[in-house]
């Protein structure tokens, strides 16, 4: 069967950038930058981009494009006994990360609705934790996140809408669904971010916030604890580019045979970083305004993660001199669009894998995947949802994705003729600079990822162990997710292929043998 293709490189770039630019770009990067030396953090950040992010992006683009397949198919064609790694990545991303990511998007949809009437009131922290989520605080009874509590129907209702939207976008062929949506969504997202930056930069105290965001503290890059800053930079690059998800491998497999892989990887990675850095101006301009209103330093209002989006930002919106509703709608609409463009890429990576192996109809795969995904996401719609999210996110992102990235580097560098992949990329880019990225993937990136794994494990086993959650919660929602995905990957790899799993024939490959 003829493989689907993007209608244009622009459509591919919109989808790839949409996958990379997610919720974390808006609410995570700016705070990580601020906490790790401000403007000085940008030095290790951009070093990480060019020494690890872009090389790994080229690696995944090159693998998917050369093998013309999803992560499982591409790794099977490298060697059949490595197929399990491809299944492992798409399974734990689809039925691990995607389950809670969809619920966080549903929170954003709820808050988009709240923005029209500023329903969160003056006590935004209480509204989010008590009125909206009614979250259970892990107790000392040893149950922790195992005490699920009741369903939060307001969250569940929007989760139904979100999953229905995912299905509506993904059931069509790649160029009639995801490509069309991303070509519309990404320009709108960029426009919304520009509006937020311009608007927030005019607020009282905005420049104090920007100064706090970008003021360089170079001493932190080389003194005691500097290794954590460099680790944070590489971690931000790795996670924000969707590396290890199986997404970029699948997306690249739909490219035209003559697509310039290196150029597309460079544009995708740099676009993602530009959005991260640029969005930080809107975040810290707003935090500067809030600090000025309260008469406190920016450090007292600066937070990262969900606290920024659902507590601090609503509080700042309340204090705006005008346009509170419009500002809130623009901010949460940007979060919704960023979340959706990332989420549909996860579904696509999983769908592509099943299409490749079993030849099932796309609409059937997407329907079943979204149905199972919704049922699984109900776990995060309970009162214990935020606690379960905290545990699962830590394990899957910190250990699951890093292990996949590390093994991709090792397998393709030491157990596969990297020369073939290098020649493929060089031929398409018409430049012979693959020596640089190939050797970075072979030597430098594995060392960084091993260090990340080791350091994170040391941090976890340092009291309070694993964030203070009881051991039972860690085993069920952390370890079990990783282990079950691993077993599932092995099982899927043992099932015989029902569609031919053969290497696409390129004339120039015969010359390489």
DSSP 101-151: HHHHHHHHHHHHHHHTTTTT-S-HHHIIIIIIS-PPPP-SSS-GGG----B
What is residue 232's predicted lDDT score, i.e. its pLDDT? 84
The answer as to whether 4 is a domain residue is: no
The answer as to whether 209 is a domain residue is: yes
* Tokens standing for residue 143: 């149950």
The residue to which tokens 């069967």 are assigned: 1
> Residue 169 maps to which CATH number?
1.20.1740.10
pLDDT band of residue 325 (cuts 50, 70, 90) is very high
pLDDT band of residue 505 (cuts 50, 70, 90) is low
Burial 33-47 (b: 16+ CB within 10 A, else e): bbbbbbebbbbbbbe
The answer as to whether 459 is a domain residue is: yes
What is residue 326's predicted lDDT score, i.e. its pLDDT? 93
pLDDT band of residue 465 (cuts 50, 70, 90) is low
- Name, in order, each residue with C-beta under 8 angstroms of 262's C-beta and a sequence gap of 6 or more: 58, 425, 428, 429, 431, 433, 434, 437
The residue among 22, 18, 42 whose CA lies nearest residue 277 is 42
Of these ranges, 123-132, 276-285, 364-373, 400-409, the one predicted with the greatest mean pLDDT is 364-373
* Tokens standing for residue 193: 């971010």
511 has a pLDDT exceeding 50: no
The span from the CA of 285 to the CA of 406, in Å, is: 37
The secondary structure element, H or E, covering residue 9 is helix 9-20
pLDDT tens digit sequence for 93-132: 899 889 999 999 999 999 999 999 999 988 888 899 888 9
Q: How many CB atoms lie within 10 A of CB 304?
A: 19
The answer as to whether 1 is a domain residue is: no
DSSP label at residue 300: G
| Region 491-498 average pLDDT | 91
Q: Which of 101-115, 245-259, 499-513 comes out lowest in average pLDDT?
A: 499-513
The span from the CA of 451 to the CA of 447, in Å, is: 6
The answer as to whether 200 is a domain residue is: yes
350 has a pLDDT exceeding 90: yes
Query: Higher-confidence residue: 475 or 343?
Result: 343
What is the rounded end-to-end Cα distance, in angstroms, of the chain? 26
The span from the CA of 90 to the CA of 57, in Å, is: 17
The span from the CA of 335 to the CA of 329, in Å, is: 10
The span from the CA of 209 to the CA of 283, in Å, is: 8
The residue to which tokens 């969707």 are assigned: 242
* Tokens standing for residue 458: 């040391």
For the chain, give the number of residues: 513
| Residue 8 backbone dihedrals phi, psi, to 5 degrees | -155, 160
The answer as to whether 196 is a domain residue is: yes
506 has a pLDDT exceeding 60: no
pLDDT band of residue 309 (cuts 50, 70, 90) is confident
Q: Are 357 and 73 in contact (CB under 8 A)?
A: yes
pLDDT tens digit sequence for 23-72: 888 878 888 888 888 888 888 899 989 988 899 999 899 889 888 889 99
pLDDT tens digit sequence for 403-426: 888 888 888 888 776 777 888 888
As for how many domains the chain has, the answer is: 1
The secondary structure element, H or E, covering residue 250 is helix 247-253
The span from the CA of 350 to the CA of 347, in Å, is: 5
The answer as to whether 335 is a domain residue is: yes
What is residue 351's predicted lDDT score, i.e. its pLDDT? 93
Helix (H, G, I), strand (E, B) or coil at 382: strand
- Determine the structural domain holding residue 350 and report its residue range: 9-512
The span from the CA of 238 to the CA of 176, in Å, is: 29
The answer as to whether 2 is a domain residue is: no
pLDDT band of residue 219 (cuts 50, 70, 90) is confident
The span from the CA of 241 to the CA of 61, in Å, is: 12
């Amino acid at each position: 069967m003829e493989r689907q293709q993007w209608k244009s490189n622009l459509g591919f770039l919109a989808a790839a950038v949409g996958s990379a630019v997610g919720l974390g770009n808006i609410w995570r990067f700016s705070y990580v930058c601020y906490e790790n030396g401000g403007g000085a953090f940008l030095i290790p950040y951009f070093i990480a981009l060019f020494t690890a992010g872009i090389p790994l992006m080229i690696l995944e683009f090159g693998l998917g494009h050369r093998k013309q397949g999803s992560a499982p198919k591409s790794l099977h064609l490298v060697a059949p006994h490595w197929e399990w790694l491809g299944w492992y990545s798409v399974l734990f991303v689809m039925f691990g990360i995607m389950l809670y990511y969809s619920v966080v998007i549903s929170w954003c949809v709820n808050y988009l609705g709240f923005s029209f009437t500023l329903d969160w009131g003056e006590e935004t922290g209480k509204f989010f934790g008590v009125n909206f989520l009614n979250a259970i605080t892990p107790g000392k009874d040893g149950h922790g996140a195992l005490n699920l509590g009741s369903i939060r129907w307001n969250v569940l209702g929007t989760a139904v809408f979100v999953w229905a939207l995912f299905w509506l976008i993904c059931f069509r062929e790649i160029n009639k669904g995801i490509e069309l949506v991303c070509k519309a969504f990404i320009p709108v997202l960029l426009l919304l971010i520009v509006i937020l930056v311009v608007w927030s930069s005019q607020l009282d105290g905005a420049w104090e916030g920007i100064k706090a965001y970008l003021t360089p503290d170079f001493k932190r890059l080389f003194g005691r604890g500097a290794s954590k800053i460099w680790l944070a930079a590489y971690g931000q690059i790795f996670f924000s580019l969707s590396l290890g998800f199986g997404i970029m491998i699948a997306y690249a497999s739909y490219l035209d045979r003559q697509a310039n892989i290196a150029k597309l990887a460079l544009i995708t990675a740099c676009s993602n970083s530009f959005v991260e850095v640029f969005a930080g101006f809107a975040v810290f301009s707003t935090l500067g305004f809030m600090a000025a209103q309260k008469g406190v330093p920016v450090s007292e209002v600066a937070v990262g993660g969900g606290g920024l989006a659902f507590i601090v930002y609503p509080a700042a919106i309340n204090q705006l001199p005008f346009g509170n509703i419009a500002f809130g709608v623009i901010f949460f609409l940007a979060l919704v669009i960023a979340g959706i463009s990332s989420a549909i890429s996860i579904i696509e990576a999983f769908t592509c894998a099943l299409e490749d192996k079993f030849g099932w109809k796309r609409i059937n795969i997407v329907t079943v995947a979204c149905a199972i995904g919704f049922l699984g996401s109900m776990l995060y719609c309970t009162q214990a949802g935020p606690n379960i999210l905290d545990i699962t996110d830590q394990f899957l992102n910190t250990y699951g994705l890093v292990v996949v990235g590390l093994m991709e580097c090792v397998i393709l560098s030491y157990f596969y003729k990297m020369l073939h992949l290098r020649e493929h990329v060089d031929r398409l880019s018409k430049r012979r600079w693959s020596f640089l990225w190939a050797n970075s993937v072979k030597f430098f990136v594995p060392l960084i990822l091993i260090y990340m794994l080791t350091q994170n494990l040391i941090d976890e086993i340092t009291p309070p162990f694993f964030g203070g959650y009881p051991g039972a919660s860690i085993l069920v929602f952390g370890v079990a997710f990783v282990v079950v995905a691993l077993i599932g990957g092995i099982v899927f790899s043992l099932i015989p292929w029902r569609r031919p799993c053969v290497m696409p024939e390129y004339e120039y490959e015969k010359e390489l043998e």
